[in-house]
């Protein structure tokens, strides 16, 4: 049994230092570490609701009812900011709200008016935030000068603290003001974030820098940190990630949505001009998930092997790269894996089942069997042939499952519920059950017997590519998780880590995750950049070339093999490397096209993320399952009949560089899709490491399948869930971007851009290079690829 505190991820006690693994006995967890987040509370400012009510008169919308709704949606605080003219929040509102608020109650305002001080002392909220705004200000526009006003602030803060009210001072991110604020006796500071919000889209690293410095000073001085003003769903995630000791954020305007049309929403209210105003539950939940530990994970760089609680082997990545093929595993390491997983049974021998089993066997696992339905064995179906032709033991459920230590369910998603209901009664007490995708647990709500340990080991690619990467001496990034409701013997992580090593995942990187995080990020990646956009791009690029007079057989080959060649460059060097393969004028053109595509497609990406987070996507897909996959089969048949799919490719060899020179539009599509998928996932609360694997790193693994047999092969080897999402995205995306692509100059696809003319404006090129290199997906990618020392090029 591995020790309870295994060296995994970037743990708070320094067990793993970049590419080197060390082992120590557990130490007490410190109260704060840069790698340990506290979960900020979300307080919703309801001033905007009051503005709408006052504009129309009467009590519509009902401010008190909306406040109750917001709390029921999961907000952890209500914020109001009454002003002397009562243009939105009235002083009586502050009093009426007090008995209804079951979370934290925060009143903001300028304490230089006696009326405000008396109100706060009478209501006694959880917190008072002191804001130095002038009476005529529409909104807050600056923080306190705590040096100039220090004596006054000391006096008023003492009054509020004597009444048992927590105090916070509204500040600009200025270290001098933070230092002076600590001398006032305040409990917290609230960082005024307008400048961060304004600078976020231009250069987020530059925009966040003064806030990080101010927050670090505040922490050192014993001040807790709040933040507010112009924070939104687009910029809050990065802010919270950079300031892990953030206590609270206040968001108001960005959570109030104007929607003109139907839809059933909780908290629906009517505006002064008949607008439909909504505090949308999905969006509120989504914002909360930015801080939800269920969506936060640790990176695993390698694996430690233990026996009887003592380390018997250590993978030093600086010396050997990732734990590699069987010939690189010591006998002790092989024995350690086998000791954890002694008798393994796989259910399902399709792409994932067969190829995972082959990798495991090559890693030293001997006792691997496939349990198949009796009819599959009797009729010698494909699953039976796959297993027997590769010399695996095959038997039916009743024979194999009762003796298995670990049962791995690798059947199609739509079969999971029936399969689990069949195998669970046969599993011995204390056995473990594994998934490679958490859909059945998260979206279908499957409940597993309490004595069974439930884990997930999810390689981020189709099964065929899992095997190919392993054979090249590398591996595939893998997410692992343990179901929090099913780890009775606390051995779940032991199983998951041993399993991930056996399939070769640790050579590329293993991410400690959760069932929820894996499902939501996996669905988003495969629907958008990984499958959906590649399908849309294939059809539109081919059609455009043919329309522009390019020979169809050449166009088909450029697309079919072009994705593989182009995306292989991002696997090794990110978007930067891919863009550097273009001529300078082509790079600028691809950059401009990608920025336009991102602007056009962003609402669609957001919709897919929201539908995934809310469960609407899964609900729609499962309805199609019940209807015998009518939509899925219809879309599959339509794809097979596209001109691209039916056109035979030319025998003419296309040199590698020509795929870049003649594929500027394809490069732009990849850049736009990778960056937009990454940004959307991170904004939804998925950590950057996971978003990188689901957006950038997996793209070439999917592109490889298109290179074999076009879109048919891609859709054949991905999961049924991925295929459904792919078609859903493709049917919305094609009409969305078709006109834009059709109107692009013909030289962006199928021809050499500008006939080799390399003249550019140097300043423009420098600016474009800077933007490309500083995108967050490039920063986290550089970090993760630095540990992927065994990565191989496709031959």
Token reading at 562: 């072009």
Please confirm, yes or no, whether 81 is among the known catalytic residues: no
CA-to-CA separations, 37 to 9, 34, 249, in angstroms, rounded? 14, 7, 14
| Max CA pair span of the chain | 88
Spatial contact of 437 and 413, defined as CB atoms under 8 Å apart = yes
Token reading at 328: 């690189």
Establish whether 548 is an annotated binding residue. Answer: no
CA-to-CA separations, 139 to 48, 67, 232, 396, 464, in angstroms, rounded? 11, 21, 16, 69, 57
Those residues with Cβ within 8 angstroms of residue 602's Cβ, 6 or more apart along the chain or in another chain: 676, 680
DSSP 8-state secondary structure symbol assigned to residue 742: H
Run of H or E including 780: helix 776-785
List, edge to edge, every strand of the sheet that includes 510-512. 298-300, 510-512, 478-482, 453-459, 432-435, 406-409, 344-347, 368-371, 393-395
**Which of the following is catalytic: 416, 437, 608, 775?**
437
Nearest to 110 by CA among 90, 132, 126: 132
Half-sphere exposure of 194 (CA within 13 A, CB side): 9
Those residues with Cβ within 8 angstroms of residue 525's Cβ, 6 or more apart along the chain or in another chain: 677, 681, 694, 695, 698
DSSP 8-state secondary structure symbol assigned to residue 505: G
Establish whether 658 is an annotated binding residue. Answer: no
Q: Which residues pair with 246 in a beta bridge?
A: 225
Token reading at 174: 């200025």
Establish whether 690 is an annotated binding residue. Answer: no
For residues 658 and 667, what is the distance between their CA atoms, to the nearest angstrom? 12
CA-to-CA separations, 455 to 115, 127, 437, 507, in angstroms, rounded? 58, 42, 10, 20
Which class for 73: exposed (0-12), middle (13-18), buried (19 or more C-beta within 10 A)? buried
For residues 186 and 129, what is the distance between their CA atoms, to the nearest angstrom? 10
For residues 780 and 10, what is the distance between their CA atoms, to the nearest angstrom? 14
Establish whether 698 is an annotated binding residue. Answer: yes
For residues 629 and 639, what is the distance between their CA atoms, to the nearest angstrom? 15
699 SS3 class: helix
Please name the residue that has the structure tokens 């399948």: 705
CA-to-CA separations, 260 to 59, 234, 252, 269, 271, in angstroms, rounded? 22, 22, 20, 12, 11
CA-to-CA separations, 18 to 297, 313, 716, in angstroms, rounded? 16, 18, 38
How many residues belong to the chain?
A: 795
242 SS3 class: helix
For residues 468 and 171, what is the distance between their CA atoms, to the nearest angstrom? 55
For residues 106 and 78, what is the distance between their CA atoms, to the nearest angstrom? 6
Spatial contact of 78 and 46, defined as CB atoms under 8 Å apart = yes
Establish whether 72 is an annotated binding residue. Answer: no
> What is the number of H-type helices and E-type strands within the chain?
34, 24
Known binding positions for substrate: 583, 719
Known binding positions for Mg(2+): 522, 526, 694, 698
Known binding positions: 522, 526, 583, 694, 698, 719
Catalytic sites, residue numbers: 437
């Amino acid at each position: 049994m591995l020790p309870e505190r295994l060296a995994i991820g970037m743990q708070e006690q320094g067990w793993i230092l970049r590419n080197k693994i060390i082992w120590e006995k557990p130490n007490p967890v410190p109260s704060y570490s840069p790698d340990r987040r506290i979960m900020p509370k979300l307080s919703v400012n309801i001033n905007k609701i009051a503005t709408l009510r006052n504009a129309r008169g009467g009590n519509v919308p009902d401010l008190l009812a909306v406040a109750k709704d917001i709390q029921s949606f999961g907000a952890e605080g209500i914020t109001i900011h009454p002003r002397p003219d009562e243009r939105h929040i009235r002083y009586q509102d502050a009093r009426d709200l007090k008995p209804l608020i079951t979370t934290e109650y925060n009143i903001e305002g300028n304490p230089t008016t006696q009326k405000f001080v008396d109100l706060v002392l009478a209501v006694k909220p959880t917190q008072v935030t002191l804001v130095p705004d002038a009476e005529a200000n529409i909104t807050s526009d600056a923080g306190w000068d705590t040096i100039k006003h220090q004596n006054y602030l000391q006096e008023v803060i003492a009054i509020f603290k004597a009444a048992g009210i927590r105090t916070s001072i509204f500040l600009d991110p200025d270290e001098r003001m933070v230092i002076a604020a600590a001398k006032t006796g305040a409990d917290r500071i609230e960082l005024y974030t307008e400048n961060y919000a304004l600078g976020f889209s231009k250069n987020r690293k530059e925009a966040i820098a003064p806030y990080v410095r101010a927050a670090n000073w505040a922490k050192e001085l014993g001040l807790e940190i709040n933040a507010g003003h112009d924070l939104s769903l687009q910029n809050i995630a990065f802010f919270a990630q950079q300031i892990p000791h953030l206590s609270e954020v206040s968001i108001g305007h960005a959570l109030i949505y104007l929607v003109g049309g139907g839809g059933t929403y909780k908290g629906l209210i009517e505006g002064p001009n008949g607008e439909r105003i909504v505090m949308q539950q999905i969006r509120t939940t989504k914002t909360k998930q930015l801080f939800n530990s269920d969506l936060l994970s640790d990176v695993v760089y390698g694996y430690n092997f233990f026996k009887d609680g003592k380390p018997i082997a250590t993978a030093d990545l600086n010396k050997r790269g990732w734990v590699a093929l069987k010939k690189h595993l010591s006998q002790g390491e092989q024995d350690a894996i086998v000791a954890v997983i002694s008798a393994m049974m796989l259910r399902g021998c399709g792409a994932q089942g067969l190829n995972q089993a082959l990798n495991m066997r090559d890693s030293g696992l001997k006792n691997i069997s496939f349990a198949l339905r009796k009819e599959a064995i009797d009729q010698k179906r494909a699953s039976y042939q796959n297993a027997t032709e590769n010399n695996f033991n095959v038997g039916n459920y009743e024979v194999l499952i009762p003796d298995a230590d670990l049962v791995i369910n690798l059947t199609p998603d739509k079969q999971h519920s029936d399969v689990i209901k069949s195998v669970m009664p046969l599993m011995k007490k204390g056995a473990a059950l594994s998934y490679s995708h958490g859909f059945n647990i998260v979206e279908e709500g499957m409940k597993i017997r309490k004595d069974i340990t439930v884990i997930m080991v999810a390689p981020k690619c189709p099964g065929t590519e899992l095997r190919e990467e392993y054979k090249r001496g590398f591996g595939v990034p893998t997410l692992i998780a343990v179901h929090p409701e099913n780890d009775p013997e606390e051995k779940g992580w032991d199983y998951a880590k041993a399993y991930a090593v056996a399939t070769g995942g640790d050579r590329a990187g293993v991410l400690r995750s959760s069932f929820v995080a894996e499902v939501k990020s996996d669905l988003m990646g495969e629907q958008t950049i990984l499958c959906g956009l590649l399908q849309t791009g294939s059809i539109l690029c081919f059609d455009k070339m043919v329309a522009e007079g390019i020979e169809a057989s050449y166009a088909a080959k450029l697309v079919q093999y072009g994705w593989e060649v182009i995306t292989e460059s991002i696997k090794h060097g990110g978007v930067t490397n891919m863009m550097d393969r273009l001529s300078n004028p082509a790079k600028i053109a691809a950059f401009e096209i990608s920025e336009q595509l991102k602007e056009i497609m962003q609402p669609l990406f957001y919709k897919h993320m929201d539908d995934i987070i809310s469960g609407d996507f899964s609900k729609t897909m499962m309805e199609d399952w019940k209807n015998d996959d009518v939509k899925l089969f219809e879309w599959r048949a339509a794809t097979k009949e596209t001109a691209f799919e039916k056109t035979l490719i030319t025998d003419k060899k296309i040199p590698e560089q020509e795929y870049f020179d003649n594929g500027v539009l394809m490069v732009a599509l990849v850049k736009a899709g990778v960056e937009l998928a990454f940004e959307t996932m991170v904004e939804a609360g998925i950590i950057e490491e996971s978003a990188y694997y689901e957006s950038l790193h997996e793209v070439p693994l999917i592109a490889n399948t298109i290179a074999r047999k076009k879109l048919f092969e891609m859709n054949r080897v991905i999961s049924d869930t991925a295929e459904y999402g792919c078609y859903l995205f493709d049917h919305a995306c094609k009409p969305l971007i078709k006109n834009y692509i059709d109107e692009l100059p013909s030289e962006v696809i199928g021809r050499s851009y500008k006939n080799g003319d390399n003249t550019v404006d140097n300043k423009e090129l420098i600016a474009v290079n800077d933007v490309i290199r500083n995108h967050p997906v490039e920063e986290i990618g550089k970090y993760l690829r630095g540990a992927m020392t065994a990565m191989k090029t496709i031959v």
